[in-house]
Amino acid sequence: MGDSSSSASYIRMVCLCYIIFFYIYMDAPNDRVLALLLLFQVHHLIEKCICFNLNKEECMDALEKHANIKPVITSTVWKELEKENKEFFETYNKDCAERNIEAETMQRIEKMLAEAAASKTSDDEEG
């Protein structure tokens, strides 16, 4: 998601934001460290989801199901990634929408072909 220097500065910025956020809600230093580690994990897992072309909702579902990460956490990290990588996510979201349209079109075509084949079979049986 960009060159290494911008990625490093982005990670530092995100970590700082989340440390401040979690500092408000957590008292023990160990909790803050765990929160920071969770953020790194969620960030990494979101990038993996993106490699599999999952959209935000699919990613939230996958991380909840397979990593036991609350959707609100995934959503928050995803939003921060979107803020820092606007161009990437604009293109990515457009590509996801196009893939969904293509998948829906293929399903419609398959349904029409199946219906046509079933109709032809019933016509052949009658004649």
Q: Same domain for 20 and 74?
A: yes
Pick the closest to residue 73 from 30, 29, 24, 37 (CA basis).
Answer: 37
CA distances for 1 relative to 7, 43, 66, angstroms: 7, 11, 24
Tokens linked to 35: 């929160």
pLDDT for the residue 78: 94
Tokens 């052949």 identify what position?
Answer: 124
Candidates 73, 21, 22, 14; CA nearest to 46 is 73
Structure token digits, residue 87: 């161009």
Q: Alpha carbon of 7 to those of 15, 36, 59, 68: distances in Å?
A: 12, 17, 21, 26
Are both 15 and 43 inside the same structural domain?
Answer: yes
What's the pLDDT at 6? Answer: 58
- What pLDDT shows up at residue 1? 46
Our count of domains for the chain comes to: 2
Are 70 and 90 in the same domain?
Answer: no
Q: Note the pLDDT of residue 60.
A: 96
46 in the same domain as 1: yes
Q: Are 64 and 42 in contact (CB under 8 A)?
A: no
Digit-by-digit pLDDT tens for the chain (127 residues) are: 445 555 566 666 666 666 656 655 555 566 767 777 888 889 999 999 999 999 999 999 999 999 999 999 999 999 999 998 999 999 999 998 998 899 999 999 999 999 988 887 776 676 6
Residues 94 and 73 placed together within one structural domain of the fold: no
pLDDT for the residue 77: 93
Same-domain status, 80 and 116: no
Q: Which domain, by its residues, includes 121?
A: 86-127
